[in-house]
């Protein structure tokens, strides 16, 4: 039996929902990424909507702060809508070129925003999602949070400011996260400095209520920090990366990717044995070219300004669709789904140092 749907309900169902929701409550601008069925993967239209709204609120004296979140319980944002970029390139269009220029401009604007931004990083925060939150003043994770820069898995490199925020994580942790693409949870996010506060997801509704009734004083950032201090914590015990920190700092400071994997494979005893072998196996499944370029990019990014890091990523983007492994990675993992990408070169042993260096030609004047 099928229920009859009233005409006004049918009309509501047929009306597309905005992919970005914007609302002001109690002097707070709330922005919600509203593609829950697509894990809130960000499109060019969403980038433009977010940037327009942030610009408007930046000049609105009635808005004191901004809260950024994703709809649904699965993801804040699982990255950029990479399928649309693949289709654009294959069709000879320019969407993929416009997307990166405008996405990076949005991410940079968040880093420099004049009012405090509170990012609620519930669920997956991957790739482009990390670009949206790492410039925020207050970054909240929950027990459902899964953070990663997983680009090397599809033959790409960690962008959206990854060349800036990853190498500024203590030691070699950021290099490890960038060239492996592994996901981390709340305790590691706090330990790495990729998040500031931990709150149980069941408390998010309470946080919303507190934000709606918050009494503002002279400093909105301090007011928000004071509220979070009553509900959240800033450290969690048993961060896995802390336990592996010594090994990570050793292996991921080695000169190049072949040396890193070779040395990981050579570990035969000790507490790091299983981790080292699992890590080596993971790295061997990634695009060798993407990992090598990522390693060089992160080491350069450690000494570059935020603006120059975005410029470097854009410099790489403009070459990568033609000369990198992204198109093959998307084909294998998202289009044909055979999960058998034909990387070029197929192994780390086939890497050509000159080919890797060539991606950075023309950018050397900015420093290294």
| Set 103, 107, 137, 159: catalytic member | 159
- In this model, does residue 21 exceed pLDDT 90? yes
SS3 state of residue 124: strand
| Set 70, 72, 80, 178: catalytic member | 80
> How far apart (Å, rounded) are the C-alpha atoms in residues 23 and 320?
38
pLDDT tens-digit map of 51-87? 999 999 999 999 999 999 999 999 999 999 999 999 9
pLDDT at 132: 98
**Could you name the CATH architecture of 15-148+182-231?**
Alpha-Beta Complex (3.90)
Known active-site residue 80: yes
With cut-offs at 50, 70 and 90, classify the pLDDT of residue 268.
confident
The per-residue b/e assignment along 10-49, b for 16 or more CB within 10 angstroms, e otherwise, is: eeeeeeeeebbebeeeeebbbbbbbbbebbbbbbbebbeb
> How far apart (Å, rounded) are the C-alpha atoms in residues 295 and 251?
13
Known active-site residue 159: yes
- In this model, does residue 8 exceed pLDDT 90? no
Alpha helices by DSSP H, 138-239: 162-165, 173-180, 186-192, 204-212, 220-231
pLDDT at 364: 67
With cut-offs at 50, 70 and 90, classify the pLDDT of residue 270.
confident
pLDDT at 75: 98
| Set 70, 72, 127, 128: catalytic member | 128
Q: Where are the domains of the chain?
A: 15-148+182-231, 254-366
Helices and strands, counts by H and E, the chain: 17, 9
- In this model, does residue 1 exceed pLDDT 90? no
pLDDT tens-digit map of 194-204? 999 999 999 99
Known active-site residue 151: yes
DSSP string, 62-94: T--EEEEEESSSSEEE--B-HHHHHHHHHHT-S
Q: What is the pTM of this model?
A: 0.93
Known active-site residue 181: no
* Residue closest to 177 by CA, chosen among 57, 279, 36: 279
| Set 81, 122, 137, 151: catalytic member | 151
């Amino acid at each position: 039996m099928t229920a009859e749907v009233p005409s006004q309900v049918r009309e509501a169902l047929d009306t597309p929902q905005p992919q970005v929701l914007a609302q002001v409550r109690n002097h707070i601008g709330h922005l919600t990424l509203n593609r829950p069925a697509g894990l809130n993967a960000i499109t060019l239209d969403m980038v433009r909507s977010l940037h327009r709204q942030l610009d408007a609120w930046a000049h609105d004296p009635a808005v004191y702060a901004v809260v950024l979140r994703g709809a649904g319980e699965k993801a804040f944002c699982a990255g950029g809508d990479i399928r649309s970029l693949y289709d654009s390139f294959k069709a000879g269009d320019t969407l993929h070129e416009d997307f990166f220029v405008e996405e990076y401009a949005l991410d940079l604007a968040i880093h420099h925003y004049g009012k405090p931004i509170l990012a609620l990083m519930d669920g997956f925060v991957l790739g482009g999602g990390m670009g949206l939150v790492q410039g925020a003043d207050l970054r909240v994770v929950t027990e459902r949070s899964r953070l990663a820069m997983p680009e090397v898995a599809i033959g790409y490199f960690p962008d959206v400011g990854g060349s800036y925020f990853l190498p500024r994580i203590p030691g070699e942790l950021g290099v490890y996260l960038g060239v492996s693409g592994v996901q981390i949870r709340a305790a590691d996010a706090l330990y790495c400095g990729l998040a500031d506060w931990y709150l149980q997801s069941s408390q998010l509704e309470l946080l919303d209520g507190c934000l709606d009734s918050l009494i503002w004083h002279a400093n909105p950032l301090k007011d928000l920090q004071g509220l979070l201090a009553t509900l959240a914590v800033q450290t969690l015990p048993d961060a896995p990366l802390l336990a592996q920190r010594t090994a990570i700092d050793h292996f991921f400071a080695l000169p190049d990717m072949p040396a890193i994997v070779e040395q990981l494979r050579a570990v035969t005893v000790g507490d790091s044995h299983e981790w080292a072998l699992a890590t080596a196996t993971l790295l061997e499944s990634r695009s060798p070219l993407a990992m090598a370029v990522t390693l060089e990019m992160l080491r350069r990014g450690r000494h570059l300004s935020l603006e120059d890091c975005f410029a470097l990523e854009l410099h790489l983007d403009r070459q990568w669709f033609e000369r990198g492994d992204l198109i093959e990675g998307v084909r294998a993992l998202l289009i044909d789904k055979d999960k058998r990408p034909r990387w070029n070169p197929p192994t780390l042993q086939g890497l050509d140092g000159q080919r890797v260096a060539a991606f950075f030609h023309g950018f050397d004047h900015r420093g290294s």
